[in-house]
A = this chain, B = another copy of it.
Amino acid sequence: MAQKPSIPKGTRDFNPEQVAKRNYIFSTVRSAFETFGFQPIETPSFENSNTLMGKYGDEGDRLIFKILNSGDYLSKANEKAYSEKDSNTLTSSISEKALRYDLTVPFARYVVQHQNDIEFPFKRYQVQPVWRADRPQKGRFREFYQCDADVVGSDSLWQEVEFIQLYDTVFSALKLDGVTIKINNRKILSGIAEVIGASDKLIDFTVALDKLDKIGEEKVKQEMLGKGIPQSGIDKLAPLFSISGNFESQIDSLKAILSISEEGKKGIEELEFINNAISVLGLKTAKLQLDVTLARGLNYYTGAIFEVAAPEGVKMGSIGGGGRYDDLTGIFGMPNMSGVGISFGLDRIYLVLEELNLFPETVSKNVEVLFINFGNKEALFSLKAIKQLREQGIHAELYPDAAKMKKQMTHANRREIPFVVLVGDQEINSSTYTLKNMKTGVQEKVALDALISSIKRSPEGQFRT
């Protein structure tokens, strides 16, 4: 019995149109990365398990895909775990490799491993898939791409400025106008925690605060209370919940709240530096917004925190995020390497461009012209012309079989090929080609030069490289 074919849940096949649209986003992002001076690296799809395990918390460890050792893997199985059927403990003895979970830990590993060959500060970008054994749901997959740019080896705030410009450049190039680049600073959050007497509960505090948009002020306060943050402290948060206005007035409110926190004041200073620079430099289509509730649920940011929201009216989670982390490589034995980076959410950007109909019509590199096959003599004559067309960069092909003309024309129509060429005895004898525009139905008999220039001049020809 033949199997009914399927793919694992949470994974996807991409058809030619989808590949072309994804590549359009990738190449826009890559091109911007490169004009900003970032250079590409690639790391293996799987790493040694000990490189990944323990770096993403318990939940992360569970979601990492482990690769079974080859050969008689049970011969090295942990005997105690085996006799107790303890899956969790057994794993490390029968699996030494695991699929990449994100691009940041492999990058840290790369930097440490190749530190002698790297000229710091090192600006790298990386566009590769990652894998997570998450429960699949709308917009969440088990295999998906990350697009990251990071700088390691400098704590200059100019990089935060440039990352904001980079977001603006990419989204403007994608014609996705009006995204909001939200910014916050871990030091602001630390300062607030200090002020409300919850310095030892910074994570609980930020995790709760991060939910403000989703669950509202009251529930956030309840969660904080539940985590042991005192009511007196929460009361001091009142001005925080009502902060509004533009960047500058928000900064003024924060200055009032954080006047007694050195760390908080440092965070304010950093935000002001960045905002002042961006004000002078200007953004093309994005806007920069201070969002003191932004924490991104991540514990490793130490300075700036970024998140990008789709234009108003588009319901979609964040389409990008990132921040500053002061000790990227310490876990691999290389301390004091400050890093800062941002990431683009390919799948969500794709959905937003689709929803707003922003993919260029010419993104799919379809065939431009199909030569109808009337038999071997005609096919050979056609292939001579096709060779010339291809040398001019025109995407051209011959229908492989001398099938009925109707079948071949239907094929051209279904594939939305804009031109067909008909070659019969008459054309061969006069070295001409009958070119038919499939949209208008207009046919003309032309020489090879005119054939090439007609196709090149047509609107359908503009995607040629």
Q: Decide: A113 and B6 in contact? CB cutoff 8 A.
A: yes
Which residues in window 12-61 of A have CB below 8 A to B?
12-16, 19-20, 23, 31, 34-37, 39-48, 50-51
The docked-state distance in angstroms from the alpha carbon of A310 to that of B299 is: 52
| A104-123 interface code vs B (CB 8 A; 1 in, 0 out) | 00000110111001010101
The docked-state distance in angstroms from the alpha carbon of A332 to that of B37 is: 47
Is residue A66 within 8 Å, beta carbon to beta carbon, of the partner chain?
A: yes
Q: Decide: A51 and B5 in contact? CB cutoff 8 A.
A: yes
Is residue A80 within 8 Å, beta carbon to beta carbon, of the partner chain?
A: no
Q: Decide: B367 and A37 in contact? CB cutoff 8 A.
A: yes
Is residue A72 within 8 Å, beta carbon to beta carbon, of the partner chain?
A: yes
Which label, helix, strand, loop or mixed, suits the secondary structure of the A interface?
A: mixed
The docked-state distance in angstroms from the alpha carbon of A429 to that of B112 is: 43
Which residues in window 53-101 of A have CB below 8 A to B?
62-63, 65-68, 70-75, 77, 85-88, 90-91, 94-97, 99
B residues within 8 A CB of A154? 400-401
- Complex: chain B residue closest to A96, CB-CB: B8
- Complex: chain B residue closest to A7, CB-CB: B44
The docked-state distance in angstroms from the alpha carbon of A42 to that of B72 is: 32
- Complex: chain B residue closest to A331, CB-CB: B2
Q: Decide: B96 and A85 in contact? CB cutoff 8 A.
A: no
Binds B, one of A161-169, A197-205, A236-244: A161-169
B residues within 8 A CB of A66? 67-68
Is residue A151 within 8 Å, beta carbon to beta carbon, of the partner chain?
A: yes
B residues within 8 A CB of A14? 41-43
Identify which of B5, B51, B65, B162 contacts A109 (C-beta below 8 A): B5
Identify which of B68, B158, B400 contacts A68 (C-beta below 8 A): B68
Q: Decide: B15 and A41 in contact? CB cutoff 8 A.
A: yes
B residues within 8 A CB of A11? 44-46
Q: Decide: A35 and B67 in contact? CB cutoff 8 A.
A: no
Q: Decide: B332 and A2 in contact? CB cutoff 8 A.
A: yes
Is residue A131 within 8 Å, beta carbon to beta carbon, of the partner chain?
A: yes
Q: Decide: A70 and B158 in contact? CB cutoff 8 A.
A: no
Q: Decide: A13 and B34 in contact? CB cutoff 8 A.
A: no
- Complex: chain B residue closest to A410, CB-CB: B119
Q: Decide: B51 and A129 in contact? CB cutoff 8 A.
A: no
B residues within 8 A CB of A113? 5-7, 13
Which residues in window 394-408 of A have CB below 8 A to B?
394-398, 400-401
Q: Decide: B67 and A15 in contact? CB cutoff 8 A.
A: no
- Complex: chain B residue closest to A128, CB-CB: B129
| A340-372 interface code vs B (CB 8 A; 1 in, 0 out) | 000000000000000000000000011100000
Given A2-B332, A35-B390, check contact A47 B7 (CB 8 Å).
Answer: yes
Write 23 A-B pairs (CB below 8 A) sorted by A numbering.
A2-B331, A3-B331, A7-B44, A8-B46, A11-B45, A13-B113, A13-B114, A16-B124, A19-B39, A19-B41, A34-B365, A35-B394, A62-B71, A63-B70, A65-B70, A72-B87, A119-B411, A121-B400, A121-B401, A156-B401, A158-B379, A161-B383, A281-B380
A-B CB proximity, top 9 nearest:
A2-B333, A37-B397, A11-B44, A16-B39, A156-B400, A19-B40, A154-B400, A14-B42, A70-B133
Q: List 13 other contacts, CB 8 Å, given A15-B117, A72-B87, A75-B87.
A: A3-B50, A5-B51, A5-B109, A5-B332, A8-B48, A13-B44, A13-B110, A16-B41, A34-B395, A36-B395, A68-B94, A151-B400, A158-B383
